[in-house]
Amino acid sequence: MTQTATRETALKEAEAACLRRGATLTPLRRQVLELVLDADAPVGAYALLDRLKATRPGAAPPTVYRALDFLLEQGLIHKLERLNAYIGCTDAGHGHAHDHHHPHQFLICRTCGATTEITDHGVAHAIEAAARRAGFALAEATVEIEGTCARCLA
Amino acid sequence: MTQTATRETALKEAEAACLRRGATLTPLRRQVLELVLDADAPVGAYALLDRLKATRPGAAPPTVYRALDFLLEQGLIHKLERLNAYIGCTDAGHGHAHDHHHPHQFLICRTCGATTEITDHGVAHAIEAAARRAGFALAEATVEIEGTCARCLA
DNA sequence: TGCACTCTGAGATATTATATCATCGAGCGA
DNA sequence: TCGCTCGATGATATAATATCTCAGAGTGCA
Ligand SMILES: [Zn+2]
Ligand SMILES: [Zn+2]
Ligand SMILES: [Zn+2]
Ligand SMILES: [Zn+2]
């Protein structure tokens, strides 16, 4: 399965997921999603804006931020808080497509920048347990693990 | 033990910790640390700058960011990535004072803003295990748990 | 004295994100 | 058809966060 194929699959699933929820993946939003998916690493909003301007000269910061907000809301992308950058959700459509906000974690390589989304239930459960012990009602957890990826270690 | 007393204790321990490592907690750095500790919630860099200007009119963004960098480096404060704000390390000096960067997590209340640092070994171990399974060499993990605190739930 | 080093001052600039108001078009009922 | 509302986008300005760069002051040391 080629990269392009997985991208097309992801886009189709995104359309479907939005439809199910009564949300609209407009051409603009779809284009921003494509730009995020095309990048091979997390992308900043202004990098997206630059690329967007190639085909949409009038684009401005709110253009891209509004699209990003929508995509975040729909769970189609995630924000990496440490990097102020955005990345496509790897799990969208693979198991819990209808979950807007599934628990997830990121592995961020400081050497090559590669960023991998994982869904580790051990981590998720440990966080739930810690919150429960503190009498804290968990809404969402940000987990960003920085270090060196397997490729860079080899 | 009063709040002021714990603050003074924290400052003394900070001095001691810096000394041990051959780092210098200069008056400026100490003052920024005091400002962070005095706040009853995470503080933004520009809020610190405003307060700093009261006694140090020439202060500029680099003044506060340089101090924050030092304090982060020394493990005396932490940054909350979701909030772009800084908070004093609760654990400095209580158990692993000499650890520059101990594993830690935050519970952030979306209702009242209260932010609590915890050191949950279950979470820490789960993250280590997840990284290991991915062949990833962990350097540092950001864990920020958002939701509603016990007080706001009551 | 001369030099290296750390810290701070000062100004400019870069980067990330939001506020506000106007416009456009689809949907829809009167 | 008209007028209304609503969601989406265009367009401009501004806010909030963070960094770059050069200069000067102090300290310790050869
Ligand atoms: Zn995901
Ligand atoms: Zn790597
Ligand atoms: Zn801490
Ligand atoms: Zn609360």
Distance from CA of B57 to the nearest CA of A (A): 31
- For residue A109, say whether it is annotated as part of any ligand binding site: yes
Comparing C-alpha atoms, which of B102, B91, B85 is closest to residue B40?
B85
Write the pLDDT tens digit of every residue in A118-132: 999 999 999 999 999
Largest CA distance in chain A: 52
Write the pLDDT tens digit of every residue in B44-92: 999 999 999 999 999 999 999 999 999 999 999 999 999 999 999 998 6
Mean pLDDT, residues A24-49: 97
Whether residue A154 has pLDDT greater than 70: yes
Which of A:112-141 have CB within 8 Å of B?
A: 116, 118, 120, 122-123, 125-127, 129-131, 133-141
Whether residue B122 has pLDDT greater than 50: yes
Q: Residue B153: pLDDT band by 50, 70, 90 thresholds?
A: very high
Task: Compute, in angstroms, the gap from residue B117 CA to the centroid of ligand 4.
Answer: 14
Confirm if B114 and B73 have CB atoms less than 8 A apart: no
Whether residue B33 has pLDDT greater than 70: yes
* Residue B54 vs residue A9, higher pLDDT: B54
Nucleotides of D under 7 A from a protein CB: 7-14, 16-21
A89 to each of A3, A73, A74, A86, how far by Cα in Å?
A: 15, 12, 10, 9
Confirm if A72 and A59 have CB atoms less than 8 A apart: no
Comparing C-alpha atoms, which of A82, A104, A76, A101 is closest to residue A10?
A76
DSSP bridge partners of A117: A106
Write the pLDDT tens digit of every residue in A82-137: 999 999 999 866 544 455 789 999 999 999 999 999 999 999 999 999 999 999 99
Q: Tell me the chain B residues in contact with residue A108 when contact means C-beta distances shorter than 8 Å.
A: none
